[in-house]
Structures are given as C-alpha cells and as structure tokens.
Structure 1
Amino acid sequence: MEPKSVCVFCGSRMGTRPEYLEGARALGTEIARRGLTLVYGGTSVGLMGAVADAALAQRGKVIGVLPHVLSDREIAHKGLTELHLVDSMHTRKAMMAQLSGAFIAMPGGVGTFEELFEMTTWAQLGIHHKPIGLLNVADFYGPLLAMMRRAVDEGFIPETRAQPFACDASPAALMDQLQRGVQPLTPDKPVLRPEQT
C-alpha cells in the first residue's frame, strides 16, 4: 500500500553545506507535489523548518508534533496545517509514527539518528511495517551504512538486514522507492536461551 503521509526526521540546525538546505526544500516540495502529508517535528528552525516551509509553499498538508518542553527552545512553527503539542519525546515519536505511512531521515544530529534507529528497531520487532528511507545528501549517511556493514561482518546484524533502508541523494528517486513499496523489515524470531534449545 502506498503511504499517504511521510514522516521526515532531520536537523534543527542547517548544517555547514548548502546542499543540506537544498535537499530539505526539494524533499518538502516533492512530498507536497505528490499529494502526500508531511509529518515532522513541528519547529520553524533548521532543516526542519525548511522542509515544512517548502511543503507549505506548494499548498501541501504539514503536521507538526512538538513536546511542550521544546516549544520555546526550538520555536514552534506557526503556519502548519496542524500542530500537536505533546507531553514528552516518547509521545512525540509515537504520534509521528502513528500519523505516518513511511519515514525519511535527512542529515541531522543525535536526535535524528535516535529517531531513525528507533523506527528501524520497531520495524525489526514488527511494531510497524512501514518503509524507511535515507535522503543521502552529500553522502552524509555513507559512514552510517559502512557501520551497518561492519555490524553485519562482526555478526551483530544478519546479512538480510545489512541495508534496511531505501537510500538515494535525490528526493524524487527516494520517494519513488518508498511509493513502490520497499520491503519493510520482517520481525526477528525470538532469541532462545540455551536451556530452551
């Protein structure tokens, strides 16, 4: 089933390369152009604000989810279709996941990585069955993909999970992959203790 909404995780800062801002604007434009709803962290700053502004400029629907504690620090976006103020980061992620049919991580910091890997872990556990993509602007996620490969080679991740993400530097190409129905992860089998084998 094609997603009707896409959650974007990205930085609350702009980063040092102009390509990051260009990528955020292009992704927001692409999501709106396809008639999809953008779900994101609800702020007006950094790449988060840029992706939302680009979608809104195309008359797209944009839903923000922001914890009360961050509404002043990260500056809540005042022009969204919907803004949900919630009580915690945990509630924020759960609501964003509930509202979204697919996930995209853009360049960002620790918060972006944490959101990406939580959604990946939830998929691995069967909590959701939604595709996940990386917008790999300026090969930002190259080192992360290499780390995933290292974890496979060292026996911590099965070979079937070496590349759990759709990945492209082009927003249009990445959206094509997600809308074609990139296979979501299948849940892991329970790990048995030695006495259960």
Structure 2
Amino acid sequence: MSLRVCVYCASSNQVAPIYFEAVDQLAIHLVNHHVTVIYGGGGIGLMGRLADSVLSRGGRIIGIMPEFMRTVEWAHKGINEFRFVDDMHERKKAFLDGTDALIALPGGCGTLEELLEAITLKRLGLFTKPILIVNTNRFYDPLIAMLERCIDENFMAPVHRRMWTVIDHPSQAIEAIQQAPVWDVEAIKFATLT
C-alpha cells in the first residue's frame, strides 16, 4: 500500500522560481515512491503547480477544499479526486484523517497556521504522524528559531523537538518520513511543563 502524504503549500503565483522548483522536485520524489498526495485543491500558485506536476507524472492527488472556495473557482480542474467540505476547520481535520505524514513547503499565513496546528495536535497526542518542514531557501529559519526559543524558555520541553523534522531538499522527504521518531498518543502526559 502506498503512503498518503498531505502537502501544505501556498496559492500565490508571485513567489520566486526557487519555490516552484521545490514543488516540482517534491512531486517527482513522491510520485516515484507511489505516494498519494493530499493537498488544498487549489489550481494556482504552488498548489496548482503541485497538482500539475503530480498529474503530469502519472501520480495520484486528492484535493480538499471548502465549498466557498469552489464558488470563486479556485479549484484545480484536473485532479483525481476532490472532497468539498463545509469550512476551513473541517478541511484541516480532513487533511489529517488517514494521512501517513505531513509536508510543509513554504507558504503564507494559511500554511503556517496549518503547520502549527498540526504541531500542537501532535504535542497533545491527537496526531502522531511525521511532520516535515521543507526549508527551501532557508524560508523556515525564523519559525525554527522561534520554536527553539519556545524550548529554550521552557514553553515547550526538549522532547518536543522530536515532533517535526526539518529537511533542506524535497528529495529527502521519504527517508525523513521513514526515520521520523515514533510519537505516542500518550504525549499529552508530557505536553505541559510542570
């Protein structure tokens, strides 16, 4: 059975070419490993490029999008399967249901919010799968520094570093998923520092 991996990424068409290149590299890597990709369903920006790249290589991709976004025609027209949900909260839940791993590419506030919610759920033991942060062009350096500061100043424990894995290149994704530390549903027992 192939892996099901959710990819968080942006809908902006205005970002630098290096980010589009990273999307193509990730698509090639995931398709070559027979991964089913789950994403936000968009047809523009990095999201649209992800879908186009996966499809052009014969891969499988599933889009999950709130109904209100379909009405403004943000939905990709050619993906294998679409799930339309009521709102953003249901969308984020659907991203995690049955997913074997999460991969966060660079993105805006939506991507950051989805990533941090997933980390929070993992801290509570409500999500236990690998979370990968693809640090293309050192995009995530400030966020990684902020997470480290949370640990340094005892808002989180050192063990919480095990909740995410930072990779520099999309081609490291499958190996990082396979080598990710096991995370326990009992994580809530050490979620709070006392």
TM-score under structure 2 length normalisation: 0.91
1:182 to 169, 173, 180: 180
Change (3 A) 1:101 1:87: same
Relative to structure 1, the CA distance from residue 30 to residue 74 in structure 2 (aligned partners, 3 Å threshold; closer, same or farther) is: farther
TM-superposed deviation, 1:90: 1.0
Q: How many correspondences in the alignment?
A: 191
- Corresponding position: 1:127 with 2:126: yes
Deviates more, 1:162-171 or 1:20-29: 162-171
Tell me: CA distance 1:36–1:170, structure 2 relative to 1, closer, same or farther (3 Å).
same
Rounded to whole Å, the distance in 2 between the matches of 1:87 and 1:191 is 31
**Percent pairwise identity:** 35
- Does the 8 A contact of 2:100 with 2:129 survive in 1? yes
1:33 maps to 32
Equivalent-residue separation in structure 2 for 1:22 and 1:191 (angstroms): 37
Q: Check if 1:70 corresponds to 2:69.
A: yes
Letter in 1 for 2:188: D
Map Cα deviations across residues 105-164 of structure 1 (whole Å, 9 max, x no partner): 000011101111111111111112210001110010111110011111111010111353
What letter matches 2:189 in structure 1?
A: K
Cross-structure match for 2:148: 149
CA contact (8 A) 2:123 2:160 kept: no
What's the offset of the Cα at 1:50? 0.8
Secondary structure of the equivalent of 1:38? strand
The CA RMSD over aligned residues, in Å, is 2.0
Which residues in structure 2 correspond to 1:105-116 (within 5 Å)? 105-116=104-115
Shift of the 191–29 alpha-carbon distance from structure 1 to 2, 3 Å rule, reads closer
1:16 aligns with 2:15: yes
Q: Please list the CA deviations of residues 2-29 of structure 1 after superposition, one character each: whole Å capped at 9, or x if unmatched.
A: 9711100011114532110100111112
- Partner SS, residue 188 of structure 2: coil
Deviates more, 1:181-190 or 1:23-32: 181-190
Question: What's 1:61 paired with?
Answer: 60
Find the counterpart in structure 1 of residue 103 from structure 2.
Answer: 104
Higher mean Cα deviation, 126-135 or 168-177? 168-177
Return structure 1 stretches of 4+ with deviation > 4 angstroms: none
SS of the aligned residue for 1:156 comes to coil
CA deviations on 1:174-195 (whole Å, 9 max, x unpaired) are: 22111x2401444131779x9x
Q: CA 1:88/1:154 → structure 2, altered by over 3 Å: closer, same or farther? A: same
**TM value normalised by structure 1:** 0.90
Shift of 1:171: 1.0
